[in-house]
Structure formats: C-alpha cells, structure tokens
Structure 1
Amino acid sequence: MTYELFLGDRSFSSWSLRGWLMCEGFGLPHRDTFVGLYSGTMARDLAPLAPARTVPVLRSPSGAVLTDSLAMAETLAEENPEAGLWPADPAARGLARSMVAEMHSGFGALRGACPMFLRHGWTGFDPAPEVIADVGRVQALWSLARDRHGADGPWLFDRYSLADVFYAPVATRIATYDLPVDAGSASYVHAALTEPNLVAWRAAGQAVAYHPLPYANLPAVRGLGTLPWEAAVARYA
C-alpha cells in the first residue's frame, strides 16, 4: 500500500515537510512528486488533483485525494493504526490532537514573520512582541506535553508522534531566527532538528538552486548576518 505525496519544496515549504514526515517518520510507503511551487506551475501541476490548490496533497491507495494536512494526518492514523501516529494513552492523544489543531490554525505572527528557511541561520533578528508571544505559547504547550506525557524522552509525548511532525517546522524557525527559548524547549528544538528524517529532508533540499533565493530579501532579514545551518542548530544543543 503506497501513498502518493505531492509536495512543494524542501527548503522553504513547512507544510510539505509536515506531509512528508507523516509518512516517512512512521515507515509508511510513499512516492513523492514535487510541484512547481516557485516556478509558477503549481496550479497546472495540481489540476489533476482537484480540489487541491496548495501543498501537501496526499493520494491514498484507494484513490482518495486529501488536500489538507490535518485531514492527511487523521486518515493516515486511521488507515495505519499499528504505526502509532498518535499517542496510545487517551489523555495524551487528546492533548496531542489539541496541540496539532492549534498549530494548524494558529501562530500567525510567528509563521508570517519567520518563514521556514533551511539554508542557513540568521544573526541579529529582532522578533516583534507578537512573535515572542507566539513562541511563549509554543513553549507552554511543549512543556505541558513533556511534563505530563514525555516520559523523560526527547519527544513531546512518550514516543515520536504527529505532534512532533506538526511542530518540527516551528523548531526550524526557532533555530533559523535564533528565537529565545528556555532550556527545556532548546533541548526539544535540538532533538527535532537532529532527527534523522529531518536531517535527510534538509540535505536533499540543498541540491536545488534558486534565483533569487526565496525569503532571503524579506525586510525583516535584510542586512542581517548569516550562520551555517549546523551552527544555528548547535545554538540549541
């Protein structure tokens, strides 16, 4: 049973990363197709997958087309109960679902000001108060999950779950823009960014050339210093 994933980009598309980790992170067979997110062909590329307009898109072995990441997550969990995409404990599962839903619909200030950017880190970024507030809320959720259900492991719950999938791009944003977090959150950021699947995803994206590089000339980062990605991640070790 092989799923088909339609994705946008490895370096900048946070939702594509989530879609890919939903399959790769739990050993679910999948075939990947990248559409023209930055080349201007995305609408044409997705036309056979109506009603899809954005990435990621998942086509299941039954032929069902899922065009929303939350719908993808629930469908994959439903069709693959043995893979353990959600925590097994009911209380933990309820919290994980709530956290994923909040990530899916919230944190607009963080997402708007700090787009996912996996090419290098920035130095000297000055986050707005609204971004700091979003990061504070993220930290509160992470701390709650780990304190109640983390079992002293590196993940939000007792093992890697869809909650970690949905918050992985948040961890990249924190490292890219050097956003301030407490020690517990820093430990989680480092675990998320050194997880082998995310490392492989980022490495594959480095082979793609862009002219110009997306997001590199945003007013918020114009004139800032840069830091190699590995050094940006090491700031949270």
Structure 2
Amino acid sequence: MMSELTLVIGNKNYSSWSLRAWLAVKQAGVDFTEVRIPLQTPTSQQEILRYSPSGKVPFLQHGEVRVWDSLAICEYVAEQFAPAFWPENPAARAIARSISAEMHAGFPNLRENMSMNCRARLPGKGMETGVREEIDRITAIWRECRQNFGSGGDLLFGHFTLADAMFAPVVSRFVTYDVKLEPVAKDYADAIWALPAMQEWVAAAQAEPEVIAHYEV
C-alpha cells in the first residue's frame, strides 16, 4: 500500500532541487513513497506531468494536497510535520527565511558552472566568472549564521532547519569541485555531508546508472 505522502524526484546524482525537498521529508521522519523519474529521457516530461502540473520535479502529494516547488514543499513539510524546521526566535527565523529564499532565487553562476554531480570529483573545475563571488556570499551566510545563531549544534541555526535543506546541494557541489573553505564554513559543510540522510542520498546517487551529458564536465 502506498504511503499517503508521495514525493516525486529526479536523478539523485543531478537533481539539486529534488535533494532539498527529499532531505526535508527525511529529516522530518515522515514515511513517504519515493517516485524517481530519470530526467532528460524521451519519456521524462510525460512521466513527470502525470504528477506535477509544472512538468518539473520535485513534486509532493499528501492526500489531496499537491505541492510543486522545492521551497514550497519544504514549507509544507515544516507546517505539517516539523515546526522546528524554522527557528523559534523571530530574528533567527527571519534570517533563515531570507537566506532560504536567496538560495532559491540566486547564485546563477554557481548553478551554471558547478552542476550537482555526486559521483564526480572535479577539483579546480567550474571556477568561471562570477562563481567565486557567489561562493564568498554563501560562505559569508554560513559564517554569520553559525556565529550568531548556531550555538545549539553544528548546523546554521544549531539544529536542522529548512535553511540547511536549501544549502545541502551547495555542500555537494563544494565536495565535487573541491572548493577550499575557511574553517567555519568547512565545519558546517562537513556536518551537512555527514548527516545520515545526506549519505543515504549520495550512496543512491552513486549507484544510479543514468548519465546526463549536460551535467558532466
């Protein structure tokens, strides 16, 4: 029997947006049915449209509720199952929402030149125009959150929040491209990478047979 909660995702090796939603659901400890649809095949679009009206992944179905968009899915999971996914303190919560939205909408150079690829190790690649500046902005966010709000644990706001879900694919990229980080950012990236759910995702990504040339360097 299928779980009431169904999450449709793309390739774990490549789909950064799928990782964000999947990690939120996993960290919430909710039982769910995972539907993986390999991307960029002749039937991908048709298969995704069976679930998602946007024709994109991820997509979440919870009973009659349908949610498409990573940040919206994360918000829904927090509302329904894990209110602690946003910090309790209003100032911290405002920062967490701001940086999650900034990650959702920004960093186009990093996305374009350092595609998520959990299987690959590409040290020194991808450092094109504008990428360093975006990395510096990301690590500044991490440093400020850790220093101002992170005393309760190893993550941005101490315990796991949706901000961590939003930045998890960036951590994966930094591993793939061997981006050198200052100590606070490195410790945070190491903490995200060590999450059991993150390691489960990476192991599954490495076992996938599909290769999408567009995302390979």
**If the TM-score is normalised by the length of the shorter chain, which range does it land in?**
over 0.9
Give the match for residue 109 of structure 2: 109
Q: Is it true that 1:28 corresponds to 2:37 in the alignment?
A: no
Give the match for residue 18 of structure 2: 16
Q: Is it true that 1:67 corresponds to 2:68 in the alignment?
A: yes
Unpaired segments ≥5 residues, structure 2: none
Runs of 4+ in 1 over 4 A off after TM superposition: 211-214
**Counterparts of 1:30-109 in structure 2 under 5 Å?**
30-61=32-63, 63-82=64-83, 84-109=84-109
| Contact preservation (8 Å) 2:107, 2:134 | yes
| Contact preservation (8 Å) 1:127, 1:179 | no
Give the match for residue 5 of structure 2: 3
C-alpha RMSD of the superposition: 1.8
Give the match for residue 135 of structure 1: 135
Give the match for residue 170 of structure 2: 170
User: Alpha-carbon deviation of 1:204?
Assistant: 1.6
Distance 1:160 1:128, change over 3 A: same
Distance 1:19 1:50, change over 3 A: closer
Paired with 1:79 and 1:196, the residues of 2 have a C-alpha distance of: 23
Q: Percent identity?
A: 33
Find the residue that maps to 2:122 and give its secondary structure. strand
Paired with 1:127 and 1:11, the residues of 2 have a C-alpha distance of: 21
| Contact preservation (8 Å) 1:146, 1:152 | no
> Given the two structures, how large is their TM-score scaled by the length of structure 1?
0.85
Distance 1:181 1:58, change over 3 A: same
Paired with 1:142 and 1:26, the residues of 2 have a C-alpha distance of: 22
Paired with 2:144 and 2:196, the residues of 1 have a C-alpha distance of: 25
- Residue-pair matches, total: 215
Q: Could you list the per-position Cα deviations for residues 17-66 of structure 1 after superposition, in whole angstroms to 9, with x for gaps in the alignment?
A: 111001001112211001131323221112233523111001112x1211
Paired with 2:208 and 2:198, the residues of 1 have a C-alpha distance of: 17
> Given the two structures, how large is their TM-score scaled by the length of structure 2?
0.92
Paired with 1:40 and 1:195, the residues of 2 have a C-alpha distance of: 34
Paired with 1:41 and 1:211, the residues of 2 have a C-alpha distance of: 16
Distance 1:34 1:132, change over 3 A: same
